[in-house]
Structure 1
Amino acid sequence: MELIYIVAISFCFIVQQNYATSNNELIVPYDTDANDVYTNDFLVKLRPNFQRIDHAEEIARRLGFEHLGKVPSSYKLHHFRHPGLHVASEEPSLTHLLNLRLEPKIASAMQVSGYDRSKRGYGRRSKQHSYKGLDPLYPYQWYLNNTGQAGGVPGLDLNVQPAWDNGYTGKGVTVAIMDDGIDYLHPDLRENYNAEASYDFSDNDPFPYPRYTTNWFNSHGTRCAGEVVGKADNGICGVGVAYDAKVAGIRMLDQPYMTDLIEAKSMSYKPDIIDIYSASWGPTDDGRTVDGPRRLTLEAMANGVNNGRRGLGSIYVWASGDGGSYDDCNCDGYASSMWTISVNSAVNDGATAIYDESCSSTLASTFSNSGKKIRGSGVATTDLYGNCTLHHSGTSAAAPEAAGVFALALNANPLLTWRDIQHLTVLSSTRNKLFDKLHKWKRNGAGLEFNHLFGFGVMNAARMVKMANDWKTVPTRFRCEAGGTDKPHFISSDRPLTISISTDACDGMLNRVKYLEHVQAFITLDSTRRGDVTINLTSPMNTNSILLSRRPRDDDYTKGFRRWPFMTTHNWGENPKGKWTLQIAFKGVWPQQGILREWKLLLHGTQEAPYDNEIVHGDESRLSVTKKLEHDEELTEDFAEKIAKAAFRAAS
């Protein structure tokens, strides 16, 4: 039998109480054992003085709903529909119900449920289920399903299976791989290749196929593409995170040198077709370079987030860098940009990879190779000329995984803006089992847990998709110049600099900021050895961000920093009012000295609370309590594991 979901608009259908008709006949709803789902339709009863259609339309419009008229069986009931909700969910949307019930003009409201009805005389069509695991490399794709293979920790993965099971596979989303080209003839990629959105800026033609080399040097883009859109259950290689998404190849890394024009054209190519741009490249990770996008590229990125995707904003995903402890990704102007989502990597047991760079601009983490000589500990994906590999590596592998998760979220809710995606990343990422010996997990003033290496945690596809379904677009963003200094300040190894400014966060002005997203410190500084400079920024809510760590290979003493925009995400959700403190010191073997010539503090955020009309205020807010519960669950699991191990040792 062909399956049809019927959404009840009749009042008697879902109400969990009895109702009398006009002639006093009692209507008793059926008490069934059907597995109902919750739709994006709501029944709304208005108060007696607000029964007119224009009242209902005004209320619906103000609360983000569509008014679809009165219910035929009752002149008192109105049919509201929320376009941002999924048409069928397992859980009711308590947020939208609460918003309706708190409206003074509404007497009552309920969410309409949906159920199965089948045509008689037809065989029932089984639900089209998710991935079946028929690809030969799937057992090695621990970042998708970590069962403990290759020495990993079970459960430490992207948690994609529940998202797939709910039908979110990236369909309708296009991800561009900006790299050295992709093998679009590969049997695991060709069905998902979007030729219309692809271009070769290295050779100026529409065919971004990798240039042949004997050492397969130009396999980078093809490997990244397979992580995102590798076809499911076709018996070839593995499976992509968003295996029904489309992939565009933008070849722009394979010419003698990079230009501002090539970068700008690449990042602004077909912005109404391409949803997500994934970049696994940047300035040289040598621990001594400070570089970032030039003027045309900056303009292209700004235009992308403001006008791409028909005004919703292009999504730029960036690998944080492979310079390891010798480098700092805040010296990479691409990874530290507010307009990009900087992604770091963890290995399959939750530890830091040896190549990971740390910085305060990293938003979240995914996974990559551990460096251990264990078969299957790398990233399994497609390779050139129809081949497969188990050895994709570095943060290059981390960024495409994140792009795939974002494709799943856009599949669930195509109306998400570029800032919605960043907020969802912050809220849905979790600590899981990630750990680093040097940088411990901390909690900011808004109750959000973060780590200097891993950002707000490892990305969780199932959580992100579930939140995306009911997501309300975040409020308008504002920028406030909070203050600073242009007076020279001397710094030396035995005289670190501590300087503070107090700000009202532009209170009373049109650009007031109350809830933070990104914080930038524009700094001009000269020193006898740039690599020994360390910079910390402490917020009014006492959250410390390491803006710059020591880079032992950086011997510069002439260039310094010139209005360099150090950025932190660690203050996400905090109130910026109060005293901000900048600390600059030297850490190294030999005595050094320097001069801070300028510091300007910029605050970026909203005036309205971005989450359900509530942001964290103290320890009892909804967001803070949620994060604490997650932490308590992790502690409980750890405690239970310790008890089990102790019992085992005692028994043996």
Structure 2
Amino acid sequence: MLNRRWLDKELTVFLSLWLLGVLSPTCSEEVLTNHWYVELHEGGEDNAIKVAKRTGFSYVSPVLGSNTEFHFIHHAVPHARLKRSIYHNRQLKNHPLVKTALQQTGFLRSKRGFKPLPNIPVSEIKLQDPDINSILNQHKDGKLPTDPLFPKEWFLKNVGQSGGIAGLDLNVESAWEMGYTGKGVTTAIMDDGIDYLHEDLRNNYNAKASYDFSSNDPYPYPRYTDTWFNSHGTRCAGEVAAARDNDVCGVGVAYDSRVAGLRMLDQPFMTDLIEANAMGHMPNDIDIYSASWGPTDDGKTVDGPRNMTMRAIVNGVNEGRGKKGSIYVWASGDGGADDDCNCDGYAASMWTISINSATNDGQTAGYDESCSSTLASTFSNGKSTLRDAGVATTDLYNNCTTTHSGTSAAAPEAAGVFALALEANPNLTWRDVQHLTVLTSKRNRLFDPYLRHHWQFNGAGLEFNHLFGYGVLDAGGMVDLARKWKPLPERFHCTAGSVIKKLSFGTNDPIRLEIPTDACRGSKNEINYLEHVQAFITLKSSFRGNVVIHLTSPMNTTSMILSQRPNDDDFKNGFTRWPFMTSHSWAENPKGTWVLEMTMVSGKGSSYDTGTFFEWTLVVHGTKSEIYQNQDGDTDKHGKLYNIKRRHADYRFK
């Protein structure tokens, strides 16, 4: 369970570091919305409604269930403007019950993977896969789902269809054979709505846990557009919980689980209040929150959650699911090799599980971002020159599709696997799910076709890859380990040290910094076994996208915590205490000297770019006690980790 002292006392320090970074806007002009955050001296919903009515506002809802903080909207104010409405702010602040009133900034959030697969000439389409008959035969025997699109769901059972590699899938069949199908688990799809009338979803739809934060009503049905742009959430929902054996579309990873719709993306600008209320919605009814969106994937945006949203996430991991912690699953991003998901404060958060994607033949997709915070991978689409290369799932208005793609498709698959694990062991905490992900994900046949990122072992003997994290999720392995999983030791965090000085660096002229640490030895926060590592960094440069940063642990594991982003031409903002995160040193001992190397690489900009370093603070998170001492019934002190990993590698390829 989570250490309450850590949350209550020390989290304030961490959040101050985080928020000073993410609240530095990267856009030149601030956009203001017609939404307001209002805090009252005297609480109560009745008081909030009275204040709203008296000042000309409309009452929306409490903020994160608070008795004193509320969300107001003013319908006479434009949805977006460039100046704060002084008059309306004054109207609120002059009311004797109002303590604070803050007009909400608007910002952009983009759906991951809304990129139609290319049109392939008929002459190039492969009309029949030679291996498909093996799936069809099993259909007839009743061993596998009979849904019409199941043979095309190669991410569930890959027999080589659409040019894939047989066996490269989520291994859900093993979990299903053990009797786990997601019963009793609810996943919230935070997106543009869900077609909850769809025949493949309606029986698994959790209406009680659903809400429309765009229209402020309990019916998160997608808004119609000619382009079907708002099909995104419906497609993601089908991947998790499409029903089995009903002759409609395909089948979900956790086909007996339930999905809730949290409609919040379909509006001109996002606000902190809308994000926060979505991520904190009914945390004891929703187990998993799946997000296939984030800051714009343009290769130059540096952005993340604001104040209220961070409060919602922290409250979720602290209080959600009966204090076991809400599970937040995040798509790593579709910015491709020119972007880095460590510049996405959602995917790079230690409280979310960042999921990247792979194709059906084991490669990274061309749109995949890479970063050291990615924990694992699932699948997005196959080879575009073959028929049904995308992910088969539900679509708007009772339709089906085989063209869903992007890391949008990857995150819901992971949510489905986690739903299977939660059914196997409902007592799993948010940390348990991350540990199970690390220990049971597989290298399988995943590889980088460009040979830039190789598989390597960290100091604790865990194999990882900068693109794929710890490998592709294995539902069978995760469920098997989950059902006998025992509670983890208490988690702490330790500020390991800081370097605060002004240093210059430039193109091919790096700087090297060191922080020796005892990881708070002898204190209540002592850490001997790592989980997450954060480097809060402040710098500016003449071309931010050419800054590359590596962090090396005392056990000699090097993480690239920032890669080159050639489209990021920022020369003003830089990074302000930005929390770069790595999961690559998982289970290592943090004691010793940490090394930060920072340089400007050649690229766009001038022939010689310069940078100025100001601050680096190292924060390590983990346990004092041996991290896997209770797992698997193993008493060999030095062999626990290896034995756990080895036993659960038997489900599929190592």
Give the secondary-structure state (helix, strand or coil) at the position aligned to 2:208: helix
Give the match for residue 213 of structure 1.
225
CA distance in 2, matches of 1:294, 1:447: 36
Query: Is contact 1:529-1:554 (8 Å) kept?
Result: yes
Query: C-alpha separation between the residues in 1 aligned to 2:630 and 2:420?
Result: 26
The answer for the alignment partner of 1:298 in structure 2 is 310
- Using the alignment, how far apart are the partners of 1:203 and 1:443 within structure 2? 49
1:607 is matched with which residue? 624
Indicate the residue corresponding to 2:532 in structure 1: 518
Partners in 2 of 1:537 and 1:319 — Cα distance?
A: 24
1:299-378 equivalence runs, <5 A: 299-370=311-382, 372-378=384-390
Aligned partner of 1:514: which letter?
N
CA distance in 1, matches of 2:339, 2:241: 31
In structure 2, the residue matched to 1:528 is 542
Are 2:486 and 1:472 equivalent residues in the alignment? yes
Q: 1:357 to 1:130 in 2, by over 3 A?
A: farther
Give the Cα separation in 2 of the matches to 1:462 and 1:198.
Answer: 30
Displacement, 1:588? 1.6
| Structure 2 letter corresponding to 1:153 | I
Indicate the residue corresponding to 1:621 in structure 2.
Answer: 639
- Matched ranges for 1:56-75 at <5 A: none
The partner residue of 1:550 within 564, 582, 592 is 564
Residues 431 and 619 of structure 1: is their aligned pair in 2 closer, same or farther, counting only changes over 3 Å? farther
Give the direction of change, closer, same or farther, for the CA distance of 1:609–1:553 in structure 2 (3 Å limit).
same
Aligned equivalent of 2:62: none
Match of 1:264 in 2: 276
Q: What SS does the aligned partner of 2:411 have? A: helix
Q: Match of 1:13?
A: none
Aligned to 1:596: 613
- Corresponding residue for 1:562? 576
Indicate the residue corresponding to 1:234 in structure 2: 246
Conserved? CA contact 1:369–1:393, under 8 Å: yes
SS in 2 for 1:261: helix
User: For 1:448, which of 454, 462, 467 is the aligned residue?
Assistant: 462
The one-letter code matched in structure 2 to 1:396 is S
Residue 488 of structure 1, CA deviation: 1.0
- 8 Å Cα contact 2:283-2:321 kept in structure 1: yes
Whole-Å separation in 1 of the counterparts to 2:265 and 2:646 = 44
**Deviation of residue 543 (structure 1)?**
0.1
Quick one: distance in 2 between partners of 1:462 and 1:524?
A: 43
1:524-557 deviations in Å (ceiling 9; x for gaps): 0000000000000000000000000000111000
**Is 2:187–2:419's contact at 8 Å kept on the other side of the alignment?**
yes
Which AA in structure 2 matches 1:607? K
1:283 and 2:300 aligned: no
Pick from 553, 570, 575: which aligns with 1:539?
Answer: 553
Task: Go from structure 1 to structure 2 and tell me whether the alpha carbon gap of 1:578 and 1:269 turns closer, same or farther (over 3 Å shift).
Answer: same
State the Cα distance separating 1:409 from its structure 2 match. 0.3
CA distance in 2, matches of 1:494, 1:261: 43
Question: CA separation in 1, counterparts of 2:441 and 2:280?
Answer: 28
For residue 474 of structure 2, what is the amino acid of its counterpart? Answer: N
The one-letter code matched in structure 2 to 1:380 is A
Q: Paired residue for 1:417? A: 429
Give the conservation status (yes or no) of the 8 Å contact 2:486–2:630: no
Show the counterpart of 1:143.
155
Corresponding residue for residue 447 of structure 2: 435
Q: Tell me the SS of whatever aligns to 1:604.
A: strand
Contact kept? 2:188, 2:286, Cα under 8 Å: yes
Question: Cα deviation per residue 1:469-525 (whole Å; 9 max; x = unaligned)?
Answer: 110111111010000111111111142000111000000111111100000000000
Distance in structure 2 (CA, Å) of the matches to 1:347 and 1:397: 11
Q: Distance in 2 between matches of 1:617 and 1:340?
A: 31
**Alpha-carbon contact 1:227-1:401 (below 8 Å) kept:** yes
Which structure ranks higher in relative contact order (CA pairs < 8 Å, sequence separation ≥ 6)? Answer: 2
CA–CA distance in structure 1, aligned partners of residues 204 and 142 of structure 2: 17
Q: Distance in 1 between matches of 2:650 and 2:324?
A: 37
2:213 corresponds to 1:201: yes
CA contact (8 A) 1:143 1:157 kept: yes
**Matched residue of 1:356: which SS?**
coil
Q: Which amino acid aligns with 1:556?
A: D
Residue 631 of structure 1 deviates from its aligned partner by 8.4
Q: Give the number of the structure whose alpha-carbon radius of gyration is greater.
A: 1
SS of the equivalent of 1:584 reads strand
Residues 137-175 of structure 1: CA deviation (Å, up to 9, x unaligned): 000000000000000000000000111111100000000
Do the aligned partners of 2:536 and 2:618 also contact (CA within 8 Å) in 1? yes
Q: Secondary structure at the match of 2:495?
A: strand
Which region of structure 1 is more displaced relative to structure 2, 239-248 or 611-620?
611-620
Structure 2: unaligned runs, 5 residues or longer: 1-140
- Cross-structure match for 1:402: 414
Tell me the equivalent position of 1:9.
Answer: none
Give yes or no for contact 2:493–2:527 (8 Å, CA) kept in 1: yes
Aligned partner of 2:49 in structure 1 is none
2:611 alignment partner AA: G
Deviations 1:323-350 (A, max 9, x none): 0001000000000000100000000000
Whether the aligned pair in 1 keeps the contact of 2:629 and 2:637 (CA below 8 Å) is no
Task: Using the TM superposition, give the Cα deviation of residue 370 of structure 1 relative to its aligned residue in structure 2, in angstroms.
Answer: 3.2
What corresponds to 1:45 in structure 2? none
Deviations for 1:227-281, whole angstroms, at most 9, x for unmatched residues?
Answer: 0000000000000000000100000000111000000000000000000000000
Shift of 1:623: 2.1
Q: How does 1:44-193 map to 2 (within 5 A)?
A: 132-193=144-205
1:486 and 2:503 matched = no
SS in 2 for 1:391: strand
Cα distance change on mapping 1:131 and 1:486 into 2, 3 Å: farther
Preserved contact between residue 290 and residue 331 of structure 1 (Cα < 8 Å): yes
Question: How far apart, in 2, do the equivalents of 1:571 and 1:414 lie?
Answer: 28
- Is contact 1:132–1:233 with CA below 8 Å preserved after alignment? no
Contact 1:359 1:547 (C-alpha < 8 Å) held by counterparts: yes
Contact 2:164 2:382 in 1 (8 A): no
CA distance in 2, matches of 1:488, 1:621: 45
Displacement after TM superposition at 1:625 (Å): 5.3
Q: Alpha-carbon deviations, 1:385-412, whole Å to 9, x = none?
A: 0000000000000000000000000000
In the TM superposition, what is the alpha-carbon distance from 1:613 to its structure 2 partner? 4.4
SS of residue in 1 equivalent to 2:293: coil
- In the alignment, what sits opposite 1:113? none
SS in 2 for 1:308: helix
- How many residues get paired? 508
Structure 1 residues 290, 130: CA separation in 2 closer, same or farther (over 3 Å shift)? farther
Q: For structure 1, which runs of at least 5 residues remain unmatched after alignment?
A: 1-128, 639-652
Quote the Cα distance in structure 1 between the aligned partners of 2:348 and 2:393: 28
Q: Structure 1: how far apart are the matches of 2:150 and 2:300?
A: 39
Contact 1:131 1:233 in 2 (8 A): no
Q: Structure 2: which amino acid aligns with 1:568?
A: T
Give the deviation of 1:622 after TM superposition: 3.3
> 1:431 and 1:595 mapped to 2: Cα distance?
39
Partner secondary structure for residue 176 of structure 1: strand
Q: Deviations over 1:79-111 (max 9, x none)?
A: xxxxxxxxxxxxxxxxxxxxxxxxxxxxxxxxx
